[in-house]
Amino acid sequence: MQDKITKLFKAIADPTRRDIFHALVIATSALSITQISNQFEISRQGVTKHIKTLQEAGLVVIDAQGRERFCNANTKPLQEINKWLQFYSQFWDNSLQNLGNYLNSKT
């Protein structure tokens, strides 16, 4: 879980990547590298690099059609963040409960 989180955070740490990801999420269909490049006024090369990072984090799935590559957003990995928060929220609740019990039992 932690390894995945590291990749995920690296991917969404960059504002441009977040914007690209957001654009992919709200798009009704997959966007090609060209379309993303036009929309963000950054080079194809730049877009390709960002997409690769997003892909490594599992946030983007690429579908190659001929020479063009189409990008789909995948929001599932972000659930890892929520898992992390849920996990530690429960962890600290339990730990503080233990602390309370410990203090009560200590004379």
Partner 1 sequence: MNDVIKKEVTLNHSIDKVWNAISKAEEISTWFIQADFKAEKGYRYTFTSEPNEKGCTVISGEVKNANPYVLVYTWVVADTKVETTVCWELESTQNGTKLTLEHSGISNYGGETAVKMFESFNGGWDNCFNGLSGYLKEEVNAG
- Binding of partner 1 at residue 84 (CB under 8 A)? yes
51 contacts 20 by C-beta, under 8 angstroms: yes
Q: How far apart are CA 76 and CA 93, in angstroms?
A: 26
SS3 content of the chain, % helix, strand, coil (to 5): 70, 15, 20
Stretch of residues binding partner 1 (CB under 8 A), selected from 30-38, 39-47, 60-68, 94-102:
94-102
Tokens coding 90 = 């429960």
Say which amino acid occupies 8: L
CB of 34 to partner 1, least distance (A): 24
Listed in sequence order, the residues at least 6 apart from 45 whose beta carbon sits closer than 8 Å to its beta carbon are none
Interaction mask 17-56, partner 1, x per CB under 8 A: -x---x--xx------------------------------
CB of 78 to partner 1, least distance (A): 5
- Binding of partner 1 at residue 8 (CB under 8 A)? yes
Which residues would be at the binding site for partner 1 (CB under 8 A)? 2-3, 5-6, 8-10, 12-13, 15, 18, 22, 25-26, 75, 78-79, 81-96, 98-104, 106
